[in-house]
Amino acid sequence: MNLFSKRKNYFSLDTPSEKKKTDRKKKEQGPSIPNGMWIKCNTCKMIIYKKEITEYKLCPSCGAHFRMTPAERIAITCDEGSFQEFDADMIPENPMEYPDYDKIIGKAQDKTKLREAVVTGRCKIEGNDAVIAIMDSHFMMGSMGSVVGEKITRAVERATEERLPIIIFTTSGGARMQEGIISLMQMAKVSEALGRHDAAGLLYVTVLTDPTTGGVTASFAMLGDIILSEPKALIGFAGQRVIQGTIHQKLPEGFQRAEFQLDHGFVDRIVHREELRGELGKILKLHQTGK
Amino acid sequence: MNESMRSVTIARQIDRPSAKQFIDEMFEDFMEFHGDRMFGDDGAIVGGIASLNGMPVTVIGIQKGHTLEENVNCNFGQPNPEGYRKALRLMKQAEKFHRPVITLINTAGAFPGVGAEERGQGEAIARNLMEMSRLKTPVISIFIGEGGSGGALALAVGDQVWMLEHAVYSILSPEGFSSILWKDPTRVAEAAERMKMTAKDLLKNHVADRMFAEPEDGLEHHLPEVAGELKQALTEVLPELVDTDTEELLQKRYERFRQFGSFVE
């Protein structure tokens, strides 16, 4: 599985072909920047030269945290070369016989070069062993179906068996609707596995990233012993359009953002992405058992 | 109208017997308890202690009303976080006294509101899933009407899940499914069928363990009979579950939910 292939995960500004010609002319006069080198920040709307973006995937202008792929997350989180993937080949079947589900999955796989919406494995973070699961919002909005549920459950069970902490980076639109009730059952499945990990006295850290909503929020995202969040991440149970449709009022500024969740007592700490590895390392170190 | 959509329609009927009506028919000496001890009392969740032919039980139901006034009091059967937390408080109380828990489910879903989000709807549901999965006392969940998504599951992590014939249980409403996945709000009946949300469908994939038939001319005219059947079934099943070794009970409950998934490696 090719975790480390490059992929565009922001808006790309394609230069119209007319302009391309002009660019070519300009080339003779001075330095030019090839196509696809610019992206637009969705938060501050600034046009950014791609090379200014570091491995942390932050907007150089406003500091917005762009959505990351599991490979990018591993690169900034795990000690180099320490990540060993679990269950890399698992793919979903079609429990509801949803029309063309295999094609929908295939398209997401081609787009992301991933098999499913979560990558799990074990690694070291600043020298501390941990099991980690990293969801990817680029794969069908990080929706949780059988594979996401099973891979995370197995990762949790493995952490329980090997007496390791587990860290889950969440990002999801919720349950995978195409898998129907079976996707709802994943919420119970992951939660019960976490219940056993918890009963074994082991540490579970959630890192909420943008966006974490629906069935993922209403299951493992909110069950961490310690819940961290990246700044401004959207975190909630119900979708904003659904809420608006129910109450017929404008939603308050910053509703369901990380800062809102912190204010209401559902997040322990908001951590800037550049500080995240250090903070996780510190937390893991403070929870080391005397084994 | 297809069979699935027929069940959806029946499950939503305003005169369909409510959780409270089932409780009054199935149990003796029901005493309702209120509040989550943290924020308030949610009228969408009715809970308390009762006797089932002399056996002490904890009963928790999601309450829908038959009139507008009743529905305002119970928020149309859409619980807020304090409702789920009240339910959990009563379940933990049941665990302490080793009373079986019976939940009666009938909700379109957890309430999507600003206050619900401020008070942690997601956290409340998540907590219930985890705590129910390891509750050291038997739990039987009975779907008596609608079973809408996480808001229903939050009371349905049971040792056994039973459904009335026309109760439904799904990841979202067929209306939502049709408009979100197909961008076409008119294909609701087709969505209902596709989602396999009826008791018959859910028996096949083991989401439900048992189905109770409903009389053709409407459950509302036959509540005592149907409630009597449920009572009879509980009377048969519960003593055995109560006597089951707790570890074995919890292991079976774990496996019950652990099995769900459709994947290849």
Looking at the complex, report in whole angstroms how far the Cα of residue B25 sits from the nearest Cα belonging to chain A: 30
- My answer on whether A61 and A161 are in the same domain is no
Q: In this complex, do B113 and A238 lie within 8 Å of one another by their Cβ atoms?
A: yes
Q: 107-126 in B: which are within 8 Å (CB) of A?
A: 110-114, 116-123, 125-126
Helix locations, chain B, DSSP H: 3-12, 19-26, 68-73, 81-96, 114-118, 121-133, 149-153, 174-181, 188-194, 199-204, 223-243, 246-258
- My answer on whether A244 and A207 are in the same domain is yes
Instruction: Choose the closest CB to A179 out of B116, B207, B262.
Output: B262
Strand order in the sheet with B210-212: B28-33, B45-52, B55-62, B101-107, B139-147, B160-164, B210-212
Please answer whether residues A145 and A176 qualify as being in contact, where contact means their C-beta atoms are separated by less than 8 angstroms. Answer: yes
The model's confidence at residue A290, banded by pLDDT at 50, 70 and 90, is: low
Q: Is the confidence at residue B20, as pLDDT, over 70?
A: yes
Question: In this structure, are strands A204-212 and B45-52 parallel, antiparallel, or unpaired?
Answer: unpaired
- In a 3-state reduction of DSSP, which class is residue B49? strand
Of A24, A40, A66, which residue sits at a domain end? A66
Considering the domain boundaries, does residue A141 fall inside one? yes
What's the CATH superfamily of B3-257? 2-enoyl-CoA Hydratase; Chain A, domain 1 (3.90.226.10)
- My answer on whether A257 and A118 are in the same domain is yes
- My answer on whether A34 and A152 are in the same domain is no
The model's confidence at residue A246, banded by pLDDT at 50, 70 and 90, is: confident
- Full residue range of the structural domain in which residue A195 is found: 67-286
What's the CATH code of the domain at A168?
A: 3.90.226.10
At residue A277's C-alpha, the angle toward residues A271 and A283, to 5°, is 80
For position A18, what pLDDT does the model report?
A: 47
More confident residue, A218 or A11: A218
- My answer on whether A42 and A83 are in the same domain is no
Of A50, A66, A82, which residue sits at a domain end? A66
Cα separation, B75 vs B170, in Å, equals: 20
Considering the domain boundaries, does residue A254 fall inside one? yes
**Phi, psi dihedral angles at A238 (to 5 degrees):** -85, 150
Helix locations, chain A, DSSP H: 17-29, 70-77, 101-112, 146-161, 181-199, 214-217, 240-247, 258-263, 273-286
First to last CA, chain A: 34
Place of tokens 């992929």: A7
Does residue B215 have a cis peptide bond before it, meaning omega lies within 30 degrees of 0? Answer: no
Q: In this complex, do B150 and A215 lie within 8 Å of one another by their Cβ atoms?
A: yes
For position A2, what pLDDT does the model report?
A: 54
Strand order in the sheet with A38-40: A11-12, A38-40, A47-49
- My answer on whether A156 and A205 are in the same domain is yes
Residues of B in contact with A173 (CB under 8 A): none
Please answer whether residues A66 and A138 qualify as being in contact, where contact means their C-beta atoms are separated by less than 8 angstroms. Answer: no
Burial of A78 (0-12, 13-18, 19+ CB in 10 A): buried
Q: How many domains does chain A have?
A: 2
State pTM to two decimals.
Answer: 0.92
What is the per-residue pLDDT across B156-213, written as a single tens digit (0 to 9) for each? 999 999 999 999 999 999 999 999 889 998 999 999 999 999 999 999 999 999 999 9
Predicted ipTM of the assembly: 0.97
Q: Which residues contact B151 (CB under 8 A, 6 or more apart)?
A: B78, B79, B107, B108, B109, B110, B111, B125
- For A250, the closest chain B residue by CA position comes to B114
Q: Is the confidence at residue B56, as pLDDT, over 90?
A: yes
- My answer on whether A48 and A131 are in the same domain is no
Q: Which of B233, B153, B152, B163 is nearest to B198 (CA)?
A: B163
Of A66, A96, A118, which residue sits at a domain end? A66
Q: 81-140 in A: which are within 8 Å (CB) of B?
A: 87, 89-96, 98
- My answer on whether A201 and A157 are in the same domain is yes
**Domain assignments of chain B as residue spans, ordered by start:** 3-257
- My answer on whether A132 and A175 are in the same domain is yes
Q: Is the confidence at residue A10, as pLDDT, over 60?
A: no
Looking at the complex, report in whole angstroms how far the Cα of residue B112 sits from the nearest Cα belonging to chain A: 5
Considering the domain boundaries, does residue A84 fall inside one? yes
- My answer on whether A171 and A253 are in the same domain is yes
- For A102, the closest chain B residue by CA position comes to B263
- My answer on whether A180 and A201 are in the same domain is yes
Q: In this complex, do A221 and B120 lie within 8 Å of one another by their Cβ atoms?
A: no
Cα separation, B146 vs B169, in Å, equals: 6
- Buried b / exposed e over B56-67, threshold 16 CB at 10 Å, is ebbbbbbbbbee
Q: Is the confidence at residue A157, as pLDDT, over 90?
A: yes
Looking at the complex, report in whole angstroms how far the Cα of residue A9 sits from the nearest Cα belonging to chain B: 23
Inform me whether the C-beta atom of residue A247 falls under 8 Å from chain B C-beta atoms: yes
Q: In this complex, do B117 and A243 lie within 8 Å of one another by their Cβ atoms?
A: yes
Q: In this complex, do B171 and A181 lie within 8 Å of one another by their Cβ atoms?
A: yes
Cα separation, B241 vs B100, in Å, equals: 8
How distant, in Å, are the alpha carbons of A66, B12, B53 from that of A230?
10, 41, 54
- My answer on whether A42 and A100 are in the same domain is no
| Tokens, residue B124 | 């409340």
For residues B239-248, average pLDDT = 97
Residues of B in contact with A94 (CB under 8 A): 262
For position A245, what pLDDT does the model report?
A: 84
